[in-house]
Structures are given as structure tokens and as C-alpha cells.
Amino acid sequence: MSTLDRRVVTLIKQVVTWLVDRDFVAAEARSRGVRLSADLMRRAVEEYGRTLVLPPDEAFLDIDAIAVANSEGRIWSIRFDLWTQEEGRSDLSLECTAVIDRSTLQLEIENIHVL
């Protein structure tokens, strides 16, 4: 985690907050709707059938992020466990790609699914 840019951690926190708040449109807009639409995000959360909650701050110290080798700019493939009121850390995960190109930070939400 020490090599993961703090801006990426901040962005993951924001995306998780949008998911918890059920603001799937904001999450889609931030990821430019490249891979996962607001409707698909909503469906994944609803089908899981539990209430998303914000994880403790410590959870963001353990983001599963892998740097993509031989890539232009800095690219990370990220998996983050979502938390629910019923379970705490759940089996539902957010998968996304973060790209830092010069000073620009882009995000693509790829999947929300059970592992």
C-alpha cells in the first residue's frame, strides 16, 4: 500500500461513499461510464441484498492494489472489499483501475461482485 498514491486512496474512499449513499450516478460520472453503468452498479448492490456501510478508516490501509507493469503513466488494478451493516467486511468487492497520467487521475469502475 505504501506505493499507492494517496490521491487514489482518497478517490476509492469517495467511490465507496457514493456506493454507500446509493449515488450510483455520481460513481458512473466519475468513472466516465467506461465499463460499469449506474444501473449495473445499483443491480449488483441490490442483488447482494445487504446494506452497504462505510468501512472503518483502517480498511483503506489495506487496499488490494497491483501496479500494472510496462504501462504508460502509473496504473493500478484495485480490489476493495465493501462492508455491510449485517456482516462488516463482506464478500462484495469493488474492482476498478486507477490511472495517473501526469497530474490527471482517471478511474474506471470495472465490477462490483461477490468473490
Residue ranges in the chain modelled with pLDDT below 50: 1-2
68 to 19, 76, 115: CA distances (angstroms): 25, 6, 21
- Among 59, 47, 57, CA closest to 92: 47
pTM, full prediction: 0.90
Please report the pLDDT score of residue 1 as a whole number: 42
CA distance 56 to 114: 20
**Domain at 6-114, CATH from 3.30.1360, 3.30.70, 3.30.9, 3.10.450:** 3.10.450
| Bridging pattern class, strands 64-67 and 88-101 | unpaired
Please report the pLDDT score of residue 85 as a whole number: 97
- Among 109, 114, 111, CA closest to 12: 109
